[in-house]
Amino acid sequence: MKAFAKLIETLDSTNKTNDKLLALEEFFSSAPPQDKVWAIALFSGRRPRRSVNVSLLSQWATELAGIPPWLFSECYHATGDLSEAITLLLPMPDSTSERSLDEWIRFIISLSSKDNHEKEKLLKESLIELSYYERFIFIKIITGSFRIGVSSKIMVKALSKVTSIDTDQLSHRLSGNWDPLSISWEELISEEHAASESKPYPFFLAHALDDPSELGELSEWSAEWKWDGIRGQLIIRNGNAYLWSRGEEDVSEQFPEIIAAAKSIEGSMVLDGEILPYKDDRVMSFSSLQRRLGRKKQSKALLEDVPVVFYSYDVLELNGEDIRELPYIRRKKLLKDIIDRTASQTIHFAPVVEFSSLEDLRNKRLQSREFSSEGLMLKKLSGTYGTGRKRGEWWKWKIDPLTIDAVLIYAQPGSGRRASLYTDYTFGIWKGSELVPVAKAYSGLTDEEIGQVDKFIRANTLEKFGPVRVVRPELVFELGFEGIARSKRHKSGIAVRFPRILRWRTDKPASEADTVETVFDLLEKYGQA
C-alpha cells in the first residue's frame, strides 16, 4: 500500500505526462504482483463495490476525530470531497500498517459481510494506522469513488516498458471482463488470456475535426454517418456470440436479438459497430435505447417497443486472424461480403456516405439530422485499426449543436475545487407565464464568469432546499445540445442530450428566453421518437 500511495501522490501532484509515466514505470517494476493487478484494475475502472454506507462512514469518522457533526459537515463542504475531509480531520499515526494494496482491498471487500457494529470497530482501527495518501485511497476504494487522472494510454505505455510487450498487444490482454480477485499478474498479461473466446479488442477512437479541408486529398477518405448509439464489438467465435460495449461491459443479455442474429452467421469474426434503437425503418432516439440498459431480462413488451439493430462498420478479426493491420478499404470490403451473405434484419452494414467534392461533403454533413445522425465519421482508406485515440486516421466531424436561450432558475455547489462555488445550474424555459426546467448544465463558463454568476446567486436567492438555491430568474444563457426528444419525466415535456452552456446572454432579458412552443418546434424538426 505504501508504494501505491506514493504513486498516487506523484500522479496527483503533476500534470506532466513524463513524470506520470516514470512514476507508473517505477511502481510496476517493483510492486508485488497482485498489487500490480489491483492497480491496473483501479486505473481501468474495475473498482470493488461500495462496502460501507457513506453516512455511517461519515458518522464514525466524526466520532474518531472528536468533533461535532456540524463541524464535520462544514469541513466536508469546504473540501468538496469526503475522502479528503476525513483524511485531513483524523490525526496522522506514529507508524503505519505494512499491509499490501491487495491485502487492504481484500479487507475492504470482506466488510460487506460484517454487521455495522463490526464494521465500525474494524474501520476505526484501520483509519488510524494509515498515512495521508494511504487513508485517502482507502476511503476512495471503500466508497467506490476511486478516480485518478491517468489515461489508459499512459498506463499501458508504462506497462509495456516494464513487460517488453507491445502496447497494442498489452491493451488487448487487459481488455474485457477479468476479476482482480482471482486472476494473477502472470495470467493477466499472458498471451493465453488474450485468446479468451469472449475477449474484445481495444476500441479505436476518433479525434474531433473542425474542417475537412485539413485532410488533404479527399479521395483518400471514406465518409460514414456518426451514429448516436452505443459503440459495441460483436464477437462470434466457436458458435458462440458476445456483445461488448466501449466501456468494456458485456451487454449480451441486454440485447438478445443481436446475439440470436449473430449465432446464425457462419464462421468466426469480431465486428465493430453501433447498437441503435431501430423501428419503422428509422433510427430512434438515444433516450429510447436507455430503456434497454441495465436490465438483465428484457420483457417482450420492451423488445417490441424498442427493437435494436447492430450497424457494423468494421471487421477486426476473421476466422481467427487479427486483421486490424489491413487497410480500412480492405476490411470494409470483407465486412460488406459478410453482411451481404448474412442478409440479417438485425445486423446491418453501416452505409457509406458518398461525396464528390468538399462542398458536397459539407452539404452531406448538414443533412445529418435527417438520418438521426450527429455528423460524419471520416476514415482514411489506407488506415489500420489502432488502439485508443490516435490522430490522423479516424475523425469525427459533428454538426453544430441545437441551441436555445434559457433562464437560470436553480443552482447548487459544485465538487472538488469548485465546492465553494455555485456551478451546477438548472435552466428553464417559458410555459405561459411559468418557467419550467428544461436542462441541467455545469460546463461552458470561464472562471471569471463562474465567479460573477456565483456572486449573483448568493445575492438573489429566493428559497433554499438543502444545497439547492432557487434563484431570481434574470440571467439568460444560450445552451447547446446534441439531440432532443419527448419526455414524460420532465415538466417541459422535453429531454435534451449533452446540454452545455455556450455563452452568457447578457444582452437578453429573461422575458425573451425561449418558450416550450419554440422548443417543440425544434423537436418536430430535429427530434426523435
pLDDT tens sequence across 99-138:
999 999 999 999 999 999 999 999 999 998 898 889 999 9
Look at the block and give the residue holding cell 484494475.
41
Evaluate whether 293 touches 299 at the Cβ level (below 8 Å).
no
pLDDT-derived band of residue 477, with 50, 70 and 90 as boundaries?
Answer: very high
pTM summary value = 0.73
Q: Which residues of 223-259 are buried (b: 16+ CB within 10 A; e: fewer)?
A: bbbbbbbbebbbbbbeeebbbbbeebeebbebbebbb
Span 305-333, average pLDDT:
95
Q: What is the pLDDT of residues 188-202, one digit of tens each?
A: 988 887 667 788 999
Residue 419: pLDDT over 80:
no
| Alpha-carbon distance values, 429 to 405, 409, 426, 464 (Å) | 8, 10, 11, 21
Long-range contacts of 150-158 (CB under 8 A, 24+ apart): 150/11, 150/20, 150/24, 150/43, 152/43, 152/44, 152/388, 153/388, 153/389, 154/17, 154/20, 154/21, 154/24, 155/24, 155/40, 155/43, 155/44, 157/21, 158/21, 158/24, 158/25, 158/28
Q: What is the pLDDT of residues 479-515, one digit of tens each?
A: 999 888 888 777 888 888 889 999 999 999 999 999 9
Cβ–Cβ < 8 Å for 24, 7: yes
Q: Ramachandran region of residue 174, left (φ > 0), alpha (ψ -120 to 50) or beta?
A: alpha
Q: Are the beta carbons of 364 and 343 closer than 8 angstroms? A: no
Residue 529 pLDDT > 70 = no
User: pLDDT digit string (tens) for 374-397?
Assistant: 899 999 999 999 988 888 899 999
Interatomic CA distance for residues 516 and 437, integer angstroms? 10
Which long-range contacts (C-beta less than 8 Å, at least 24 apart) are formed by 432-439?
435/407, 435/409, 435/473, 436/491, 436/492, 436/516, 437/409, 437/410, 437/490, 437/491, 437/492, 438/404, 438/406, 438/490, 438/492, 438/494, 438/496, 438/519, 439/406, 439/479, 439/481, 439/496, 439/499
Residues 435/440/446/450 CA torsion (nearest 10 deg): 60
Q: What is the structure's pLDDT at 528?
A: 58
Contact 282, 348 (CB under 8 A): no
Amino acid in the structure at residue 396: K
What is the C-alpha to C-alpha distance for residues 273 and 347, in angstroms, rounded to an integer? 10
Per-residue pLDDT at 1 exceeds 80: yes
Tell me whether residue 488 is exposed, middle or buried, using C-beta atoms within 10 angstroms of its C-beta: 0 to 12, 13 to 18, 19 or more: exposed
C-alpha 333, offset from chain centre: 31
pLDDT digits (tens, 9 = 90+) for 209-230: 988 888 989 999 999 999 989 9
Alpha-carbon span 526 to 371, nearest angstrom:
10
The strand pairing partners of 352, in sequence order, are 224
Sole residue written with cell 491493451: 171
Q: In this structure, what are the phi and psi dihedrals at residue 302, rounded to the nearest 5 degrees?
A: -70, -40
- Of 485, 61, 68, 20, which is closest to residue 288 (Cα–Cα)? 485
Cα distance between residue 251 and residue 79, in whole Å:
37
Cβ–Cβ under 8 Å, residues 423 and 413:
yes
pLDDT band at 527 (very low <50, low <70, confident <90, very high): low
Task: Name the residue with cell 452568457.
Answer: 504
Q: Tens of pLDDT along 246-280?
A: 888 889 989 999 999 999 898 999 999 999 999 88
Per-residue pLDDT at 476 exceeds 90: yes
Please report the pLDDT score of residue 108 as a whole number: 93
